[in-house]
Amino acid sequence: MKISVQSVNFNIDNDLTKYIEKKINNLEKFHDQILGAEVFLKVQSTSEKENKITEIKINLPGNDIVIKKQSKTFEEGVSMSVDSLKRQLVKRKGKVRA
């Protein structure tokens, strides 16, 4: 699976990239037709602590799934997004089989 990670308004470090790739690759257990994933990391310039936005787009045959989460850290945002994606992939796979 091809995973593309893009950061907006900051430079991403290798540890975060590896963490994201590891989490996204685990999604293949829940749906076997994932073509690729695009991850967008953004920092909002607000005074709030939860100013990190994580957006993950999963490419599937037919429709794509897009999840957007706002959190304090990118790791937390990726983790919440992946949990949400797991539920949606299981639901989508169940509909395909029915």
Report pLDDT digits (tens) over 6-44. 998 888 999 999 999 999 999 999 888 899 999 999 998
Query: Which pTM was predicted?
Result: 0.89
> What is the count of structural domains for the chain?
1
Contact status, residue 54 vs residue 38, Cβ threshold 8 Å = no
Structural domain for 75, as ranges: 2-97
d(Cα 10, Cα 2) in Å, to the nearest integer?
A: 22
Beta-carbon contacts of 41 under 8 Å, excluding residues fewer than 6 positions away, are 5, 6, 7, 8, 10, 12, 16, 52, 53, 54, 55, 74, 77
* Mean of pLDDT values over 50-67: 92
**CATH number reported for the structural domain that contains residue 26 in this entry:** 3.30.160.100
